[in-house]
Chain A
Amino acid sequence: GENVEQHPSTLSVQEGDSAVIKCTYSDSASNYFPWYKQELGKRPQLIIDIRSNVGEKKDQRIAVTLNKTAKHFSLHITETQPEDSAVYFCAARGSNYKLTFGKGTLLTVNP
């Protein structure tokens, strides 16, 4: 089945800096890659997603890039703010139509 590796597991940045979280996947037929943000005690919330026919997608300060050849995708957050502090999960939908999640990255933005 699909295997998704996510790095780093923790990331600490200063307010205003950029943050990058990387994921790799194993199923070359994976075609949908969402990113979720989960604040402490809250539900995961979809923040951005990308499909396999697109290389990059941007939404204000958030962008996701996909490299199908290398089977990796990344989340980029620019001009980080304290409210960006949360756990971020990447996921990949494989050929079995299941979403497999990475183990999460705890992002801390220091004021």
Chain B
Amino acid sequence: KAGVTQTPRYLIKTRGQQVTLSCSPISGHRSVSWYQQTPGQGLQFLFEYFSETQRNKGNFPGRFSGRQFSNSRSEMNVSTLELGDSALYLCASSPGQGAETQYFGPGTRLLVL
């Protein structure tokens, strides 16, 4: 099976802009989780989607949002970008919900100037 894919791989934005990241899970996987990875904070959970519904949410401001489509693909949106949003954004898919065995995508590296 093809692995988890993410697009784009790299993004440069300026403060105040918004950005949309995309994640395609492994075929048959219905859960997609998103994480922010930074050198100082490690991997931090953003949210999980299962069957097009947000099932769980981390401690991030409302500027971070997401959605999942009927084919399980997921998008993450960050509005009003801040310098501190610069990070590697990883998505992970799993067959079921609830943070079971997760398989990560390559990530989208976002740089906010």
Contacts and interface: CB of A to CB of B under 8 A. Distances in A.
A93 B69 CA distance: 25
Contacts of A34: 101-102
Given A43-B105, A44-B90, A99-B102, 19 more contacts: A32-B99, A32-B100, A34-B102, A49-B101, A89-B42, A89-B43, A91-B43, A93-B99, A97-B55, A97-B56, A98-B58, A99-B45, A99-B99, A101-B35, A101-B43, A101-B44, A102-B42, A103-B41, A103-B42
Interface residues of A, number: 21
A100 interface: yes
A46 B42 contact: no
B99 A44 contact: no
Contacts of B100: 32
Nearest to A92: B99
Nearest to A96: B56
A97 B102 CA distance: 13
Interface string B92-113: 0000011111111111000000
B20 to A, nearest CB: 20
